[in-house]
Structure formats: structure tokens, C-alpha cells
Chains A and B, each alone.
Chain A
């Protein structure tokens, strides 16, 4: 321990010295142009192996060049080559060209640092770059002549985005840091455009193959974009345009939306890894669809996802629901597909709560045919035989609600006059068409079975079919998000019972007791 400490101390000393040193260099640089060549010292630090040195150099750079930008000490307009600059320019100009060149190389280095392995370095580089971007926006380095009227350092942003969307390293942390810049309307707009440019460029190169790291980065950047919902909210700009600010595209909500839409469509056009599919679908209804100018453009993506099956289909439901509900989408055989989505795995996937919430919404219509509702109820009941208790606590009230909404489904739990005619369950589980599955002829014996479930809450919930159901619908929202731990915690917390029953059979051995099942199959050694 001791030696490392010492080393730490020494490095700190080093750093301090370096800092003082760099600060001095910056001071000198800013003070007089004599020391212009000292800038190379800073670059030396910037390229050093020691992260501390790099960090201090970055901050020094940021100070130096932002001051220079403010002073307009950097060459404005088309930059001539360094060799060319030697002649034909006066000393002032030469100095500016020189500094502009240094600035450019500094930018290059910083962009390189965006792929540094240390997060601190990346972060500080990013901050520095954005600071430069802000400075450039304020004091454009280009000639106003050939540019359109709005000054924005698009090249710089494009370069930053290109570097952020790395193909090899997961930049999600850095991207979340970048989010604060995305709050600014113009930055957001130009970042969106940059992504739009970047994605096809990269994906075309790989011929549409899956690049999980890259796509991950793209996704995290895109999902970090918080779109404004109203024009009036758009007040936060990095660069204020003097003239025609209102006409600037970055200041128009519709343009934002269009760009956003095109960005997502461009991204979703390519093949995505399964996990990415899920991630996209999870946020789709919430943070993508509302900000699109034409949400119906998503229909292809959603139907494709709905047909994938499994969890992805479940998630696609949500987007579909929004489209059906708000954008008048007509989806043929929707309920049959929903019916076929019901598989044992729906009780085990992470998005169970969301699925049941939506299924509840879809099945809340009172215009559904009875056979369909009965088929759903029966299928859910059958699947409940493999479900964990938390899912059962959702499914049972769910089925009860179905029966409550459609009183003709009551035959599923109450078919009087048939007690003496026992029959085999007529329900056909493998039938894909809910109309053909003969659910209405069946009874919910599965719930009867669940009355013997080991968890008291489930068993209690299952006993409700013994008596006519109450009028009031059960509230699903309370149970939807419950986890097993919460369920267990209930029992653990409410243990303030006075008498704790104890086992009366004396325990003598570890493996004995409880029918000796463990002893039968296992031994101690």
C-alpha cells in the first residue's frame, strides 16, 4: 500500500507542477505573441501518456483557444496551407493562420481523445470541443459569403458525432454526458442531421450487417434526444443568430420533427439485433411516436416487429396500440394475433406488466364477441398453470375482469345443471383461431387447480370463482409491477404475529423430515 501512495503523491506533485507550468504557458501565450511556439508544449502534454497531463492540457487548450476565438485571433475564412501562408501575408495574418492551424490540430487531437480509454479524458475532451463549438458559433471562423446566413459549426458537430458513434467502444456514458448539450435546440437539430448522415454511411459500408456496438451507440445517442413538444419551449440556443433567427430551421419545431423522423426511420431501416429491437420498442410509444410528424410511417417497422414473435411482439403491441388508437390504423386479425401471442413465456418476460396492461386495454371493449373473450380467458387460465405467483396475481384478476365485462362468459365458471356429466376439457389449446377453440364449452378447471396453489394470496384469489363475482372490477395496476421480492417482503414484514407455529416433529437430522424426499435422492457427503 505504502509505495503506491507515495507514487500517487509524487504524481500529484508532478501534476501540480505541470499545471502551474501550463497555466504559465497559457498566460504567456495570451500575453504576447512572442511565445506562440509554446503552444507546442501544450500539445506535447496533450499527447502524453499520463492522463493527468492530458487533462490539464485539455483545460489549458480550452482556455487558450476560447480566448483566442473571442479575440478573433484565429484566421477567419478559407484557411491557406501552412507553407503557403509563409509568404503573402503580414505578420498578424501569419500569426492568425498559424494559430488557426494549431487550433485545427488541437481539434483533431481532441476528437481523437474522444476515443480515449479513460472516461475522464473523453469527457473533458468533449466539454472542450463543445466549448469550442459554442465559441465558433459566436465567432464564426468561416466567411459569411459562401455560407447561408446562419452560422453554426456544423463540421465540428458532425465530427464530434462521428467520433461519438464509435464502432468499437461503448460510449453510452459519454453520450449521457453529451445529453446536456442536446438540450440546446440548435445543437440537437444539427446532431440529428449528423446522425442522419452518419448512419447510412456506416451501415452501407457493412452492407446492412449488424454492428451491435455501433448501433448501441447510435441508439443511446438517439434515445437521449429529448424533443420539445411545443414551439414555445424552444428557447435554449447555443448560438443566437442575429438576423432571421425565426426562419432558421433549427428554430422550427416542424423541421425538428421531420429531421427526427428521418433519423429514426433511417436507423430502423437496417437490421437490428434482438436486444436493440426490444430497446427501441420499449421507448417507441413514449419518446419516438409523439415526436414524429407522420407516425404512421412507423407501421412497417411495427408490423414487422409484431410478426417476429415472443417478447418483441409483446413490445410492438404498445406502438401498435398508439397507432390504432390515435392514428386510426386498421389492423386485420389483430385479436387473433394477440391470442397467439399468449404463450407460457409471457409470464416470464420482463415486459409482463406492460403486456397485461395493454391486453387489458384491448380487451376492455364491450363489443368483442363472447367466443373471443372466452378463448382469451381459457387460454390465460391454461397458461397460468405454468406461471409464477406474481404473474398469477395479475392473471387471475385479469380473467375475472374479462368475465365481469362479458357476463355471458360466466358459463366458464358457472354452468349449472351439468354437474353429473363429467367431460374431458373440450378446449383445444393448439388451435390458432379463437373462434374454433371451443373455449365456451369448457370450464376454468385451471383456476380450480390454482386454489391449491402454494402461495396463500394466489390460493385466495383463486377461490373467488366459488362464488358469483363481485360487480366491481379488480384494479390491476397495483399488481402489475409487483416483484417476487415485494411479495415475499409482505410476509416477512407482517410477521408481528404473536404465535409463530413451530414444527412439532422433532428434528434430528438435516436430511430427515418432509417425506424424506431429500434423503432419498441426496446424501451429505
Chain B
């Protein structure tokens, strides 16, 4: 029974073994396809096809080799291990085997014999280096020659380099050496190696000899050199080595130099000198930046407020609180003999001159430098930071510094210039008498006293010097003093402007000083300006409440409004000074009735101011158009059947509505355009009719000019045609050109053309395109899943524990299965054994019984025979 399956199995195994792997795989009976529950795209299943037969036979084979062997060895304590060299190595030739065994034998013998043998072949090493060589290390020459040995790879060399281990090889070879004579077969290869070794040894030996010789020679040479050395001492002290006391100071000197070089500030890699184009470009960029900033404020963005630089600087501003002041210039110009004349052109050039400040100045300034100034410069340079980074190349910096000094040394400066002045000072002794230092005025009357009786130029000089003497960096209280000075100056300007006749030249001269002070103290300037505006607006408001209309502002207020526009940017979306100022202008334009040519002049000045305020931003100012329309209306002769409406303060008809009507053709002919005077707002003295007509025409021309400017400014407004519709009707229908002089006729037609050239069609309004609001999306919460269907621990440790447990379980199961298989295998084997043993015994019993039966038979046959 037991035999048959065993046989079968073995047969199957045999068959399987005989078959190739591919054959098995293609055999459908061998293949078991593992059914998959789901198809997962992109997953490569490892176990979709199983070969149970193959794997079973593999497992059985493995067990046969391991388990069965162990089983067979069971209860057997002795073991025979064959350790003969190459005994089980089938690849080794028997001769090699013998040879190697022999070598081993020899080696064993040799080891015992050679323990105390100091053979020359044997080299002593220390850390893998030959001791003989180490001994030579003190020899300086040796190091030079090292290169010679490089690239040479010999057995000895490797031996010497890698220390021990080489012994075996060498011994073997030496063993073979002896054997070599006998055996011719191996000669070819062995010999070659041997020769090679020999050769290298020889070479080495030769080299050593050479080396020794060379060393000897150098030593000899040294000796000889020393004997001569004494003779050469005086000539070449530097090359000496022996003479120490003499050498020492020189060494120090040298060291010092080295140290100096080491400690010396290394030359900073400076930016290269900028070419004029680059400078221009930089300038342009700076201006662009300022312009961009201005535009941003114009649009009313609030965002970048914080990043905004502290204040606006002129493109030429050096950020030192000092703009190179006019007085300096004046002194220079005075040298050339021009005191009053070249004023304007110089100011235009100002920037250029600053750029190209001469070397002379720099030098002289450098001499004046003292400790205090340096400190101040430091402070100021810290303030500068950002802007300086931009143009921080060395040249400009030095220039800046020099100009700083110029500024700070303001009180000394004039003295210096005085010396220059003296050459021509005799011309104007009075001016030289002007003191150079001024105390800052404590009150307005102080300032007035200070400036009283001086020419406008001198007044400016005084203010400039006062300002310099009291620069905030010079003393603690100066800042306050100068802030006060600004207020006083404004007051003074107002007073000067309201004198009769107004001294506007003085105001004009003082403007740069006011501007400089404003740049220094924006807050104070802002407050001063605001209080002026607030007061004016308040008084007007009161007047309006009482009377319903107000008088035109006086000249000083007009000057203030202009000064505000000079000091503060007019294009800002909202500005603490210019916005109220513009509001004030518009208020006056709507509330102040025009009752005389004087009033009209004020109104036109205000219109000019309004245009200036909006010239950059091109903002729409309805009051301006209203006033201009009203002014033109004043010139219309026939007030009946108007195609337009005038807006208060103007009336369609009435007492003052014919102010600009001039009928005499004679005055038209003799009229020539000339600019109106600012003082005409206060006092107008027109005696003759002709004068009056001329003045009317001038006003009309100004008005038309302003209308034209407005046309250009408002060209892009969607309601342009409606805004200018009254003016258009007025000009085309009511204001006949025949009555006007030639230049006015031209202006008239140009204006009309400008108005009618604007586009009248517009696309209808739609809301701004808005980004659609996206739907609310809930992003899925992704949870990492390690084992499906398993309870997951919260913490990492728990998860790990869980995982390990699972793994253990799997392993445990696997092991159990394996053990079962093993026992099954063993049981089978045991059964096999028992069966085979039984079969043997049966066979033997049968044999015996058979033999006995034959014996019996034979015996019976014999007995029968006998019987017979």
C-alpha cells in the first residue's frame, strides 16, 4: 500500500525535474489561478498565479536536505569532518591540490624554524612602514626623491606599504623557488614573477646607493659653504641663517609689515564709477519712483502708507536737511559781479552745480571738519539709510558729506566767502555790513524788526542765515525755534502781501526759505497752513451766515493758497492741507459775488490757482467751470434769450452783470495782451475809459485762456460735452467774435474747437466685472489608514504595538504551519522507514519460509523416494 504513492510521487518529481520551468507554467494542470476579489487598476499582483506542484516539491526537497538529514543524524554524537585542502573542490586539478598541500606543509615547518631568524629578506615594519626607511626620515634629501618612487608598484613596495600579510606570499614563492628546478611545467609563470622581483630589488638597491652618495655630496657642500659664508655676511645679510642677533630686528620689521597688511582695512570693493548715463538713469528712476508715489496718493490708495518714505524729497535733495541755499549761490554769483540779475538762471542750474561740486570745495571743507560734525554726519547718515543705499557710491557720498559740512558750517561759510568777496566788496558796502549770525526771532514782531528796512534779497539772506545758525542739529531748542520761525514767516508773507502796495517781490524771494523750512518740519508747516485755512474758512462761514454771501479773499489769502500749493502736493487724493485749500477756493468761487473788476481779478486768480491745483490730477472742479461761464457771461452784451443758465454767484442779469462788456472798437484795436497784476485784486486804478476797456479785454483773454486749459484737462471726462455746453453756447451764439481783438478771436475759435472736438458718444454704464464668488468647498479630511478593518490606536506607540502584534500572529501561524508540515513530513518518512523495514522483514520471512518449504519438500520427496 505504502509503496505505490511513494513510487508515484517520485515519478512525478522525476517528471517535474525533467521539465523546464516554462513547460510547467504552461501546463494548465500545474497552474492554480488565485481568484481576485477586486481588480485594482495599476496594482501588480504577485500571487495571481500559483504553481502548487512546484512549490510542494520544492518544500519537500528542502526538507529532505535539512530536516531529513537532521533526523537521520538524530541520536548520533560523532561526526567525521574531512579538512583536507581541496578535497571537495571539484574544480581544482589534482596537481594543484598536491602542490598546495605541499606548500602548506612547508609553511608549517618554516614557521616553527623561522621564529628567531633575522633574515635580510624579512623586513621590520612599523605601522606598515619599513623601519629602515623610517630611520632615514631625518634625512631631508629623502623627501625630495619621493616622487621618483611614485607610480612604481612592486611586490616589495606593496609589502613595505601594507605591512604583514605579504609574508605568506613571499614564503610560498621562496618555496616554489626551490621546487622550480624540479618542475618544468610551472616554470614559465613562476620564473617571470621571480625575475620581476629580482629586478626591482636590484633597482632599489642601486637607488639607495645613489641616494647615499648624493647625501654625502650635499653634506660636503654644506660644509664648504659654511666656510665661505663668513666672507659674504656683509653683502647679503638677508640670506644669512646663522647670524641671529642681527637678523632679529629685521624679522620684526617684516612681521610688523605682515601684520600691518593683515590688519589693514582691506580695500572695500567699491562700486565702479558711474557713467553719466547711469547717473541720469538713476535720477530718472528716482523721479519715476516719486511720480509713482504721487500717482498712488492721487488715486487715494491707503495701502502703502506705511512703507512710504518719511517725506518727499526733491530729486536733488541730499537728505541732509539742507538744500544748498540760495545765499551760497548768491555769494558765488556776486563774485562774478552779478548780484541781482542772474538769479533765476542760477536757480535753474542749481542741481547741476550741486552735482559737480568742485574738488576745491571738498578739500577746504575737509579741513574744517571737526569732531562734532562727524557725529552729526553719522546721525544724519543713519537717517538717510534707504535713500543712500540707492546712490551710495563713494563719490556721491563724499560730495554729500562735503555739502553737509557746508550746511552745518553755515556760520563759518559766509566768512570764507567774505574773503572772496573782499575783492569786489567795495561795490556794495552796505551788504557786507549784514551780520552773519542771527538769533532766531522769538515773536512775530522780532522777525518784523529783523527784516524791516532790508531789500527783499537781503531779507531772504537774513532768513537763510537765521535758519542756518539755528539748525536743529546745533542745539536742542533750535527745532522749536525754527518751527516758530516758519509760522512767523508765513505771517510775515501775509502781512507783506496785504500792504499797499503789496510787496510781492519780497514774498517771491522768501519762497525758497519757506520751502526749505517746510521740508524740515512738515508737521509744523502743515499745522500752520491748516490754521490759516481754518481761520479764513471760518470767518467766511460766519460772513455767509450773516449776509448770505462773502467778499473775495484778500491778496494775502491768495498768496497763502499759492504757497500751500508750492509746499504740498496738490494731486493727492486727500491731503490735510491741499484738500481744504481747494475746498476753500471752490467755496469762494461759489459764494463771492463779483461786483467789480477788482473782484473779477481775484476770481480769476482763484481760477488760476484752482487750475494749478488740479493740473496734475485732472480732477473735476465744477465751481471752476461755473465761475468761468459766469465770467464769460459778464462779457455778453445781450442778456436776453440765453441758451444756458448761470450759476450763483452770477446772475443772469442785474447790476453787476455787464462788467466785461466793452463796446468801443477803438479799444479793441489798441489792445495788446499783457498779464494782469496780482495787486489788482486789492487796488485797481483805471482812470480812462480806454484803460478800463483794455483791462476788460485782458480779463476776458485770461478767462478764455483758462477755459481752454480746462478743456484740455477735462477732455477725457464722460460728461465733457455737458459740462462745457453752457460755455459752448455762450461762445458760439452770444459772444460775437467781431467785437474782439485779433488774438482773442483766435483764442475764441481755438476754445470752441477744443470743446467740439471731444467725443460725445459713450458706451452705457455697467458695473465693474466682479469675480464670481466660488462655491463653498469642503476639502475631504484625509486620515492615514494602516490596516483596514483593524481597530487603530490613537497614538503612534499603540499603532506600532498593534502592528507588531499582528505581525507576530502572522508569523506564529506561519511557524505553526511549517512545524505541522515538518511533522507530517517526518511522520511520512518514519512511516516509509517502517514500511520498508516491514517489507524487508516480510521478504526475509518469505524467503526463509520458502527455503524451509523447499527444504521440507525436498525432504518429503526424498522420503517418498525412500518409501518407494
Contacts and interface: CB of A to CB of B under 8 A. Distances in A.
Interface of A: 343-345, 348, 350, 382, 385-389, 412-416, 418-425, 443-446, 448-450, 452-456, 459-460, 465-468, 483-485, 487-489, 491-492, 494-495, 497, 499-515, 517-518, 520-525
A422 B767 contact: no
A484 B518 contact: no
B572 interface: yes
B609 A518 contact: yes
B579 A484 contact: no
A468 B548 CA distance: 39
Residue of A455, A487, A504 with most partner-chain B CB within 10 A: A504
Interface in B224-244: none
Which 8 A/B pairs are nearest by Cβ-Cβ distance? A514-B612, A495-B576, A515-B615, A454-B619, A507-B566, A485-B541, A504-B312, A507-B515
B53 interface: no
B604 A521 contact: yes
Contacts of B679: 525
A243 B140 CA distance: 154
B345 to A, nearest CB: 11
A510 B572 contact: no
A513 B311 contact: no
5 contacts: A343-B645, A385-B719, A386-B625, A422-B761, A456-B574
B678 A522 contact: yes
A419 B294 CA distance: 32
A500 B576 contact: yes
A497 B622 CA distance: 29
A524 B574 contact: no
A422 B763 contact: yes
Contacts of B305: 499
Contact of A444 (B316, B579, B765): B765
Given A422-B761, A456-B573, A507-B512, A500 B526 contact: yes
B673 to A, nearest CB: 10
Residue of A421, A422, A444, A511 with most partner-chain B CB within 10 A: A511
Contacts of B515: 506-508
Given A452-B717, A515-B615, A525-B679, A414 B580 contact: no
Contact of B507 (A421, A423, A510): A510
A235 to B, nearest CB: 38
Interface string B564-594: 0111111011111101101110110010000
A506 B530 CA distance: 21
B772 to A, nearest CB: 13
A514 B569 contact: no
Given A484-B587, A523-B678, 15 more contacts: A385-B723, A423-B763, A443-B762, A445-B765, A450-B620, A452-B619, A456-B574, A456-B579, A465-B767, A483-B541, A491-B579, A495-B527, A495-B576, A501-B311, A521-B676
A522 B675 contact: yes
Residue of A414, A450, A503, A508 with most partner-chain B CB within 10 A: A503
A423 to B, nearest CB: 5
B764 interface: yes
B534 A492 contact: yes
Contacts of A412: 765
A72 B722 CA distance: 81
Contacts of A449: 620, 717-720, 723
Interface in B617-641: 617-623, 625-626
A387 B523 CA distance: 33
Given A465-B765, A514-B612, A517-B709, A503 B566 contact: yes
B647 A348 contact: yes
Interface in B757-773: 760-768, 770
B297 interface: yes
A101 B720 CA distance: 81
A389 B580 CA distance: 12
B566 A501 contact: no
A485 B765 contact: no
Contact of B675 (A382, A514, A521): A521
A423 B722 contact: no
Nearest to A423: B761
Contacts of B294: 504
Contacts of A495: 526-527, 530, 576
A72 B523 CA distance: 79
A414 B723 contact: no
Contact of B580 (A345, A422, A492, A511): A492
A425 B722 contact: yes
A318 B719 CA distance: 33
B763 A419 contact: yes
B384 to A, nearest CB: 16
The size class of the interface chain B forms with chain A is: 35 or more
A388 B586 contact: yes
A239 B362 CA distance: 100
Contacts of A421: 763-764
Interface string B668-693: 00000001111100000000000000
A415 B604 contact: no
Nearest to A454: B619
A423 B313 CA distance: 46
B511 interface: yes
Contacts of B723: 385, 449
A517 B706 contact: yes
Contacts of B764: 415, 418-419, 421, 423, 443
Contact of A520 (B347, B577, B647, B675): B675
B27 interface: no
A317 to B, nearest CB: 20
B675 A523 contact: yes
A415 B569 contact: no
B580 A491 contact: yes
Nearest to A413: B765
Contact of B622 (A387, A423, A489): A387
Given A501-B297, A524-B678, A466 B768 contact: yes
Contacts of B462: none
Contacts of A465: 765, 767
Contacts of A348: 590, 647-648
Contacts of B720: 449
Contacts of A445: 718-719, 762, 765
B706 A521 contact: yes
Contacts of A413: 765, 767
B580 A488 contact: yes
B290 interface: yes
Contacts of B70: none
B283 to A, nearest CB: 13
A488 B537 contact: yes
B323 interface: yes
A460 B574 CA distance: 11
B51 interface: no
Contact of B608 (A418, A492, A505, A518): A518
Given A348-B648, A492-B533, A522-B678, A454 B620 contact: yes
A312 to B, nearest CB: 15
Contact of B719 (A422, A448, A515): A448
A500 B568 contact: yes
Nearest to B760: A424
A428 to B, nearest CB: 12
Contacts of A443: 762, 764-765
A183 B450 CA distance: 64
A333 B813 CA distance: 103
A420 B761 CA distance: 11
A485 B537 contact: yes
B678 A414 contact: no
Residue of A385, A420, A465, A466 with most partner-chain B CB within 10 A: A385
Nearest to A484: B587
Interface string B604-618: 110011011111111
B704 to A, nearest CB: 10
A144 B200 CA distance: 173
Contacts of A423: 761-764
B765 A499 contact: no
